[in-house]
Amino acid sequence: MSGGQAQVMWDEAVTGYDFGPGHPMDPVRLFLTMRLIEAYGLDKAVRVVAAPAAGESTLGLVHRADYIEAVRWASADPRSADTAYGLGTPDDPAFAGMHDAAALIAGQSVAAAESVWRGEAVHAVNFSGGLHHAMPGSASGFCVYNDAALAVARLLELGAERVAYVDVDVHHGDGVQAAFWEDPRVLTISLHEDPRTLFPQTGRPEETGAPGAEGSAVNVALPAGTGDAGWLRAFHAVVPELLAAFRPQVLVTQHGADTHFEDPLAHLAVSLDAQRLVAEACHDLAHRHADGRWVALGGGGYAVVDVVPRSWAHLVGIAAGRPVDPESAVPEEWRREVFRRTQQLGPLRMTDGLRPSWRDFAESGYDPADRLDQAVLATRRAVFPSHGLLP
């Protein structure tokens, strides 16, 4: 794949999205991801583009005007943050410049969607994005503006008739689901830890969309402790068949790295190697069902040195057509930068040393005693008939 076919959105100023010392969403994860991309030379295999911040009209595709104004007020004076809008809370503390930083991240995702839709790039990655919890009228879960929903909304505004959104973050993609709950043009699929054990306590299989949009919301609620085999089994048991039936014109994916077994905020046990396989699968599905149009976003991920940079560097390599060899040694100059920035020792290789495999759901059949299979079947029964598929 030539450099002109893939695009990475990057402006160093996105690291200004900073909730302060001690907050899990440390912007060093973005800085280190870009430095690792550069250390592997992947920035030379793509077009690196810095887009402007999303303006008022663009933000208004998803967010209410009064909420945008509340963010502006809190950004100018963090002490004035209105908790009724989810601002100034432990999850979303207000900080100076918050509006500008959040709008800049949103602008990167919207520009990525525009580039893919207009044919300027086949694939576009904004790993600073994927802030999928923000609601039309409130901040939530470390997310101020919902760049993922804004990217989808912009695609619809440009004329897309069918957009699929696949979210593999450990947390339910609740904000994106809410934004398109009544819109049958958007298929949202979220694989996440069971809401009984994790924020935001939504994303049950029976959440399937509003009347007139039945089956447009798909939720796979995975048992705590699910590892590579179960995660991959669930993904392949649900996502490919639905995309084939829906026939999206564009695929937007969210690749939160917090499914990893080292992540401190959740309870799945997925490896970097399985995350890479799902990124590869999303790439293949975009080519199979969306004429290659693929917008890939970041998301959660709080093992900010060991996991996030490697996971998203793999994502960029896949989008660029220059996949990183999992067995390759991590460049020493990057490890020195890690230590300089964090006083931590960086990982040595681009793998967790695993070779994940899974049993195909259609071939191996349903095991009624298996909690993972119970979750998969609940999702298939809830939404597959709406798409003309057998559960």
Active site residues: 133
Cα radius of gyration rounded to whole Å, the chain: 19
Task: Name residues whose C-beta falls within 8 Å of residue 22's C-beta, 6 or more positions apart in sequence.
Answer: none
Q: For residue 18, what are its two tokens? A: 């900073």
Alpha helices per DSSP H over the chain: 28-39, 56-59, 65-76, 98-117, 147-158, 174-179, 228-246, 272-289, 308-320, 332-342, 361-364, 371-383
Strand order in the sheet with 163-167: 47-49, 6-9, 123-126, 294-297, 250-254, 163-167, 186-193, 217-222
Report how far apart the first and last C-alpha atoms of the chain are (Å, whole number): 37
Can you tell me whether residue 338 is helix, strand or coil?
Answer: helix
Q: For residue 194, what are its two tokens? A: 């069971």
Cα separations in angstroms, 112 against 94, 183, 317, 337: 27, 22, 16, 28
Separation of alpha carbons 38 and 108, rounded Å = 19
Taking a C-beta distance cutoff of 8 angstroms, is the pair 71, 87 a contact?
yes
User: Which residue shows structure tokens 């009209």?
Assistant: 57
